[in-house]
Chains A and B, each alone.
Chain A
Amino acid sequence: MCQGWIAGTGLTSFGKHDNLDTLDLMEVVANEAVDDWGQEKCQIDGLITGYSTAYPHLMLSTLFAEQYGISPSYAHSVQLGGATGCAMIILAQKLVISGACNNVLVVAGEDRLTNTKITKDSAIATLSQIGHAFHEVPYGSTVPGYYGLLASEYLNRHGLTEEDLAQAAVLMRRHAGNMPGAHHSKPITVNDVLVSKKIASPMKLLDCCPISDGAAAILVTSSEGESKGIRIAGTGQAHQHQHITKIANIDDTGASQAASRAFSEASIDRSNIDIIGIYDSFTITLIMLLEEVGFSERGQAAVDMARGHYGKDGDLPLNLHGGLLSYGHSGVAGGMAHLVDVSRRMSEAGTSDRFKTGFIHGDGGVLSSHASVVLERG
């Protein structure tokens, strides 16, 4: 049976990219991934893109195919919010396994920060539309507001504090300090997070990811010999609700279901995972996902962060690139950065011996759509 292998990756710096639009950024990073693969771009027979809030277009995948100069036999634009990055890799894996494609380019990019047609205000207004149009949006929440609602309930249920949430922001910033290209790399303390600007309680500015320009790409191939030796070993999704008001139980949002499906397909237990990339749009997102997927006990993720468990020298390094919270968030590419970073560390000299298995998880909406990927070397 064909399997999906990671053959090349690309990741731009996140932050400001003046004078590059969505398609330009995608082109830059696609070239990087194809160069890394070492083959010709005319051999790409599958193209998967996400969406771009800065470049809303009905056909982003084929629009990019024309600009990039490729004629794939399969093209697809995927839209699952923050789960899109992982969902695109899942689709690439399925296309390769089915034999429909041999070389699938997965690419995303967005000038969400510097695009002159959209302002920060309009970006925030667009993103707030993830609420239910009739029952939620009129109340005037923002995305941080929806996660603030989740956080209020979760902190109360599991006896956590805002200091606990701040641990996640501090850790991501520490990791970004070692990562070239991170949007924010200046060290911060728990107190910095606590006194940062109020956004939507209990979310303060440093509990929230920034809005960034950036791009990421991954080339998935059926040929192990042309790959980095990293196999997409298992994938899973779960979609149990769309809107926060419809969440039946905040301890069971679908993350665990998606992860279990991925671990089961890979025949790898979560206890045997060496490195992880977990979606961290907000500090509460990261804490809840770590606990629901089961890497930390309920209410213990912040304690595990503070004791070094998730650090670069810890038992289970987490988001070593700095995550969305500090490497930055440029839409779909933000969720792909976790995939690129984990797969690179699994294949590069110096770290590959230590990291034989990786797990990446993305969530879209308000913990609505979940997509999990298990990577394995060899």
Chain B
Amino acid sequence: MSVISLERTYQQYLEMSQIPFLHCSACQGNHGFVRNFCDVCGAADLEWKIASGRGRIQAITVIHRAPLAELKSTVPYAIAIVRLEEGIAVMGRADLALALGDAVSGRPVEHYDGTQILYFDKQEK
């Protein structure tokens, strides 16, 4: 399996409103980035699983200077690294009111270019 085709599959899960990740049944390791083999134990067979979407804000920044012309009109926006309860870290857009340590829940949303990206907001109690 090529990484490009794994990325395509990842996008397809997002389009179905699911946050996927790869799981190694040999060492039980979970991977937030798509990859061809487990970089913990080296096993070749990784299987897709669906994350709950719940996690905590591990790092967060509010972007005031966008890198692309297409994003300039959308500043300020927040980007976070979220530690999901499955143990993996993922990057996502985040609600501007969020702070480090906040419990969040995530879902895929449509980006300006039509692709799906992860978005996190405060977890409902």
Contact = CB atoms under 8 A, between A and B. Distances in A.
Q: Which of A121, A140, A202, A245 has the most CB of B within 10 A?
A: A140
Interface in A149-179: 149-153, 156
Given A139-B93, A200-B61, A245-B89, A124 B67 contact: yes
Q: Which of B33, B67, B71, B101 has the most CB of A within 10 A?
A: B67
Contacts of A151: 61
Nearest to B93: A139
Q: In which size bucket is the chain B interface?
A: 35 or more
Interface stretch (A38-46, A61-69, A130-138): A130-138
Given A135-B91, A148-B61, A142 B33 contact: no
A371 to B, nearest CB: 23
Contacts of B60: 149, 152
A151 B125 CA distance: 28
A300 interface: no
Given A128-B67, A149-B79, A138 B111 contact: yes
Contact of B100 (A121, A144, A145, A153): A153
Contact of A141 (B10, B32, B67, B111): B67
Interface in B63-79: 63-69, 71, 74, 76-77, 79
B67 A125 contact: yes
B81 interface: yes
B61 A140 contact: no
A241 to B, nearest CB: 11
A325 to B, nearest CB: 17
Q: Which of B33, B64, B68 has the most CB of A within 10 A?
A: B64
A145 to B, nearest CB: 5
Contacts of A197: 64
B58 A200 contact: no
B44 interface: no
Contacts of B67: 124-125, 128, 140-142
A132 B91 CA distance: 10
B78 to A, nearest CB: 9
B32 A145 contact: no
B43 interface: no
A124 B7 CA distance: 26
B20 to A, nearest CB: 12
A89 B90 CA distance: 36
Given A138-B111, A152-B100, A201 B59 contact: no
A61 B95 CA distance: 46
Contact of A245 (B10, B69, B77, B81): B81
A118 interface: no
B66 A142 contact: yes
A293 interface: no
B71 A140 contact: yes
Interface of B: 7, 10, 32-34, 58-69, 71, 74, 76-77, 79-81, 89-93, 100-101, 111, 113, 115, 117
11 contacts: A128-B67, A134-B10, A134-B33, A139-B93, A141-B91, A149-B59, A149-B60, A152-B100, A244-B59, A244-B91, A245-B33
